[in-house]
Amino acid sequence: MPKDWFAPHAAGFGPLVARLAARDLPGSTLRRAEDNAIFVSCDTEPRALHSYCRALFLLLGEGEGGLERAGREFARDSRSLGRIARGIRGVAGGFALRAFGPDDPASLPFGLRRDLESAIAHATGLHPDSARPGREFRLQERADGRTLFLERMRSPSESATRLRAGGPPRRGELPRRGELPRTTCRLLAEMTEPRSEDVFLDPFCGYGGIALERALAAPYRFVFASDADREKTTAVKEALAAKAFERRRKTIFPKTRDALDGGFFDAAFVTAIATDPPWGLYEGGPGAAEAGELLRGFIAEAARVLAPGGRLVLLTARGAELEGGPHFSRRESLDVLVSGKKARVIRLDRV
C-alpha cells in the first residue's frame, strides 16, 4: 500500500526537485510540489530524495491549525497512530518528539506533549527518550496554517564519515560561512542534466561541494574543480581519499587557477559548468561592481571553453546583471534562497 512522504528542500528549487523526483521515483505519485517542499506517494521509502532534499519524513497526518490544535487531534487520531505502529510494533527502543514552527523549533505545552508521547508509546511499544532516540517524530507547523505529523527517516550517509576534513558538512550539519549546503550543491549539479560523456567544470569551486556532488550524481568523463585559493583546492584533494571517491578519484582534478585563465582549457573542451562565483556581498570579498565585472569576464571565458550544446549553471545574487550574450540561450531561471540570502540560479545553453 502506498505511503505518503514529505521532503523539504532549498527554497525556490521546486520545479527542479519535481523533475528529479519524477526521474528518480518511477511508479510514485507526486501529490504536491511547493516552493520549498515536495509530497510524494510510493510503496517504499524514496531514498533518492536524500540526495537533494534537506530531510525525508514519513507523513503520518495533516491537521488544521497550529501545533496545539493539530497536536490534540493527532493524539486522538487512530489512523495516524496506526501508521506509526505499522512496521514498528515489537521493535524496542526510544523515540523523541520534537515540534517546529514555520521557521524555528517550538515548544509544546507539557500536557499535550505527555498525551502525544503516551499515544505514540501505546501504538508502537517504544518509550520516550530524547537523549538517545532511535526514532524521531515531529509536529511541523507550516506557513499555510496546517500542521504535519511526521516521522523522520535517517539518511544512509548520516552515520558515514565526512567526505573530507574541512570540507562540506554531512547533511544536517550547518555549512561554514560562504559554503553551500550539500543538497544545494547537488541541485546545482543536477540542473546541468548530467550525461555520461560530460567534462564538468566548477571554476569557483571553493571547498569543492558542487564538483564532488556532480561526481556522485551520475557517470561522467572528467570533473575539474578549480579555485584561486590553494588552501581550498588542497582540501578538495583531501576529499578524494574518502571511500565514496575510490573509483572516481583518477578522473577528478582539483586545480589552483584563475577562472579567467584562458590558457588552461582548449576551446569547446568542457560540456557542463555549474558554479557559485563571488557575489560581492561577503566580508573580505570583492565589491559588487568588481564581482559583476568578474562574472561578465567569466561568461566570455565560458563561451570559449563550452562545446556547442554545453550547459552553464550559475548561482548569483538576485540583483546581479547577467546577460549571456549571443553565445547563449537562457534555458531556466529560478529565484532561490541560499543561507537566507536572496539568490538566482540561471541555466544558459551554449548555442
Cα 35 to the chain's mean position, in Å? 13
Structural domain 3-153, CATH architecture: 2-Layer Sandwich (3.30)
Sequence spans of domains, the chain:
3-153, 182-350
The reported pTM is 0.90
> What does the pLDDT look like over 303-321, one tens digit per residue?
999 999 999 999 998 877 7
In three-state secondary structure terms, 70 is: helix
Q: Return all residues near 273 (Cβ < 8 A) that are at least 6 apart.
A: 192, 200, 201, 202, 203, 302, 306, 310, 311, 312, 313
Closest CA to 210 of 332, 345, 38: 345
Name the percent of the chain lying above pLDDT 70: 89
Distance of CA 210 to the CA centre of its chain: 11
124 falls in which pLDDT band (50, 70, 90)?
confident
Where does the pLDDT of residue 262 fall: very low under 50, low under 70, confident under 90, or very high at 90 and above?
confident
pLDDT at 310: 98
Distance CA 9, CA 15 (A): 11
Under CATH, to which class is 182-350 assigned?
alpha beta
Q: How many helices (H) and strands (E) does the chain have?
A: 8, 16
Q: Would you place residue 85 in the very low, low, confident or very high pLDDT band (cuts 50, 70, 90)?
A: confident
What is the structure's pLDDT at 159? 41
Average pLDDT estimate for 109-122: 94
C-alpha cell at 118: 503516551
Helix, strand, coil content of the chain in percent (nearest 5): 30, 30, 40
Grade residue 81 by pLDDT with cuts at 50, 70 and 90: confident
Give the pLDDT mean for 120-149: 92
- Residue 56's Cβ-side half-sphere holds a number of Cα atoms within 13 Å equal to 24
Neighbours of 177 (CB within 10 A): 8
The CA-CA-CA angle for residues 126, 131, 136, to 5°, reads 50
CB 258 within 8 A of CB 175: no
Average pLDDT of the chain to the nearest whole number: 89
What average pLDDT score do residues 247-265 get?
93
Beta bridge partners of 330: 348
Q: Which residue type sits at 90?
A: G
What mean pLDDT do residues 243-248 have?
93
Greater pLDDT, 78 or 167:
78
End-to-end CA distance of the chain: 47
- CA 263-268-269 angle, to 5 degrees, is 70
Q: Residue 306: helix, strand or coil by DSSP?
A: strand
